Amino acid sequence: MSPIASYRHLLRLAGPFYVVIAFIGRLPLAMSQMGALLLVSGTTGSYAAGGLAAGALAVANAVCSPVAAVLSDRVGQRPVVLVQSLLGGLGLLTLVLLANRDSSGAVLAATAGATGAFLPQIGPLARVRWRPITRHSGSRQPRLVEAAFSYEGAADEATFVLGPALLGLLLLVADPGAGLVVASALLVVFGCAFALHPTAELARAPRRTDQQRVRVLSATLVLLMVAQGLIGAFFGSVQTGTSVLATSVGQAGIAGLVHAVLGVGSVAAGLAIAGLPERFTFPRRMLAAAAGLFVLSLPLLLVDSLPALVLVVLVLGFVVAPYMISNFTMGERSAPAAKVGTAMTLLAAATGLGYAVGSAVAGRLADDHGHTAAFAVTVSAAAAALLLSVASQRLLRRPQPAGAVDAPVQPSAEVTGATAGTIHA
In this structure, the number of other CB atoms found within 10 A of the CB of residue 82 comes to: 17
Closest CA to 57 of 24, 94, 20: 94
Report pLDDT digits (tens) over 264-278: 777 877 777 767 777
Q: Could you tell me which residue, 144 or 253, shows the higher pLDDT? A: 144
In this structure, the number of other CB atoms found within 10 A of the CB of residue 307 comes to: 9
Q: Give dist(CA 129, CA 145) in Å, integer.
A: 10
End-to-end distance of the chain based on CA atoms, in angstroms? 26
How high does pLDDT run on average in the chain?
82
Q: What phi and psi, each to the nearest 5 degrees, are found at residue 404?
A: -60, -55
In this structure, the number of other CB atoms found within 10 A of the CB of residue 254 comes to: 15
Q: Dihedral through CA 132, CA 231, CA 252, CA 167, nearest 10? A: 20
Q: What angle do CA 134, 139, 144 make, to 5 degrees?
A: 40
Torsion over CA: 164, 168, 169, 175 (sign): positive
Asked if residues 202 and 363 have their Cβ atoms less than 8 Å apart, the reply is no
pLDDT of 423 > 50? The answer is: no
Q: Which of 89-103, 166-180, 256-270, 295-309 has the lowest mean pLDDT?
A: 256-270
Q: Can you give the CATH number for the domain in which 196 is found?
A: 1.20.1250.20
Torsion over CA: 302, 359, 161, 69 (sign): positive
What's residue 256's pLDDT?
Answer: 66
What is the DSSP-derived secondary structure letter of residue 409? P
In this structure, the number of other CB atoms found within 10 A of the CB of residue 172 comes to: 9
Asked if residues 344 and 331 have their Cβ atoms less than 8 Å apart, the reply is yes
Q: Dihedral through CA 101, CA 34, CA 94, CA 347, nearest 10? A: -150
Closest CA to 212 of 404, 29, 7, 69: 404
What's residue 188's pLDDT?
Answer: 96
56 Cα distance to chain centroid: 18
What's residue 403's pLDDT?
Answer: 44
pLDDT band at 240 (very low <50, low <70, confident <90, very high): confident
What's residue 412's pLDDT?
Answer: 39
Q: Give dist(CA 54, CA 98) in Å, integer.
A: 15
For the segment 82-102, the average pLDDT, to the nearest whole number, is 95
Q: Give dist(CA 7, CA 14) in Å, integer.
A: 11
Percentage of residues in the chain having pLDDT higher than 70: 88
Closest CA to 319 of 224, 234, 391, 226: 234
Q: Which domain holds residue 403?
A: 3-422
What's residue 421's pLDDT?
Answer: 37
pLDDT band at 53 (very low <50, low <70, confident <90, very high): confident
Range among 121-135, 167-181, 188-202, 340-354 rated most confident = 188-202
pLDDT band at 119 (very low <50, low <70, confident <90, very high): very high
Asked if residues 179 and 275 have their Cβ atoms less than 8 Å apart, the reply is no
For the segment 116-124, the average pLDDT, to the nearest whole number, is 91
Q: What phi and psi, each to the nearest 5 degrees, are found at residue 335?
A: -85, 150
Report pLDDT digits (tens) over 359-368: 778 877 887 8
Q: Could you tell me which residue, 35 or 186, shows the higher pLDDT? A: 186
Domain count, the chain: 1
